[in-house]
Structure 1
Amino acid sequence: MINFEYARASDVPDAVRQITADPTARFIAGGTNLIDLMKYDVESPTQLIDITHLPLKTIEETSTGGLRIGALVPNSDLAYHPLVEERCPLLSSAILAGASQQLRNMASTGGNLLQRTRCFYFYDVATPCNKREPGSGCSAINGINRINAILGTSDACIATHPSDMCVALAALEATVHVVGPAGERSIAFADFHRLPGDTPQIDTNLAPTEIIVAIEMPPKGFAANYSYLKIRDRLSYAFALVSVAAALELDGGRIKEARIALGGVAHKPWRKAEAEAILRGEAPDRAAFARAADIMLRDAKGYAHNTFKVGLARRAVERTLTQAANGTPQIQAIKKIR
């Protein structure tokens, strides 16, 4: 049994004061990932700081025409919010592709960003894992690695980031607002999560004494031409083997702007600026999409059990871009690939 103390934060400054006083403590909101980690003895915080009563549960329009989403907005509320469905339906679709309705009802928006990997060995405390114990080794590299990464890996870690929501946020270029002892700062979504390198135990660039307070969506939401496609072992309640968030802006039969992000293939949502750039000015056809897919997967490296992901991801990129171009996004309630 893990012994821990419990405290409740009265406001954001109080939450920051409490976490600063004990950096080994953890914030808890929905608890959909943290409680699992504690049950498996992967994490054993000395204190849980309850932040569920903080005023971070609203979705508001910004002065620039974007949306500011409070960190404690439940995933289900976010997915079905009228402004989200209207302005950035890619985000709504990605959320609805993830987890179960019950988990989405509990999971917070900020907590979703902080999900830890679902690597088998990370959860098995009887095996070496550099994310749990730096320097102990990566059991997945020579182990059962079917679900593991093919991009951005290192000799220290081949884990993947599990979130669906974060793949859409990466494609839409959201901004994460955090507060710490030095005040508030903003982190571009591309800079929020980290590749493993030689410090795989550090998942994000959020400081231990900071708290996420909001996620800001830019005005451009690609509401007309988008799609989120998730390939998984079963049609419900499963993490992605490969997922793709695609968004296009079309003008006169040509691609004016393109966004592509992959999930299930790297330690963070994966984007490649070069792949998006080659689509600008091109006709939205299969040949152009195939070239973009090749660039997205150019540096992919498979391991013993996951080499199939390279081809799967390439085909998924082509299919998702085609859905986006045709204005026929993947319908998450139906599951069948369009």
Structure 2
Amino acid sequence: MSNEKTSLIERLRNDKSKNKYDPTCYDFIVRQTMQRLGAPLVRFKPHVPYLINDPLFVFRGDPRYIFHDPLGYKNDALKQRPQIIVLGNSQVHSLSCPPNQTWPGLLQNSSGIGTYNAAMGSFSIVQNFLSARELASLKPDLMICVFYTSNNVINSLPTLRKSTSALKKMFNSYDDTVSMSFQNPDVDPFASVSPKDKIMEFMKLAKYEKEHYVTATIDKLIHFSVPAIRSNSQNLKDPYVEVGFNLAKEALLKIKKIADKHTKYGLFLMIMPTKEFVLYNRLLSYGDVKFSSDREMSILYENESEVITSLKKHCDKEGMHILDPLSYLINTMHLPIYNPLNVDGHPSLEGRTVLAKYVYDFLGKYQVQ
């Protein structure tokens, strides 16, 4: 057996030619999932066209949505073996754009390597674990789980509270007594669906964002950011946040066990920072960002730095590979990689192109035997 090392991207290309795609496995997963969901499929919220109820996942993608595949994930028809499965939330799903404009889609187009987008907006790491378990029999070469440092720190707790008792028992950190002690009007997937309550929810969010947003100017680009909203969900001194973070780390270990068993190269954790954190790091690196207020941005920076440091220590301890695109994002922040004049924290098409390039470059440098 040769001890010669090669880049992971080249190994994936070589593996692609050796493995023919067998659609029967995917079709079996679809039949199992649809049987569990039952009929008719019911929207999770009447006004959200891309989500349906799922008693285990709580919610999942609607396979009837124009950009979704038969499992409700955002992919075109599966024509090749998915060598990479990407798990995540809306930072990967990208909400209303077509599959080929998500960063996994852009990665597949640029590399020719089969990449399956198994993310969904508002998914927690617990739901990513369920997706990994659901798709494991596809035998990908590796899994990438994207950890968004805002929502993914806390949202495993509300997911488990709405899921089955059997799933709750799988997590030692689960706590049904701790409550949220801070105000965070960010869109809640479990909020009431009545039209009146929805209007009030958006009015409350708009008012809060107007009072707490911070403008960040780089050259001619103006970004609106909401550091207070991003920061309070990352305050590890808060018991609610601490429980949510511990649950997320437990779920990551469960994903790693699945990846170790069913893939060749295991689990890679990609740490996706908030737009606000990237902006503050851009200031520290280049000094070319002007904030309308620095206080809440500096608190966000401290909290998010602690989360990322803790997450990296957890990965090092458990033997997880880490992808950290922060430097790529910092170096391109003078470009509209996020939609300017908007508090939204999702990457634009240009930003998703940067992320696809980062992952491609990472796989090109990562050496395997």
TM more than 0.5: no
Larger proportion of strand? 1
**Greater relative contact order, per chain length (Cα 8 Å cut-off, separation 6+):** 2
Using the size of structure 2 for normalisation, the TM-score is 0.30
More helix by share: 2
TM-score where L is the length of structure 1: 0.32
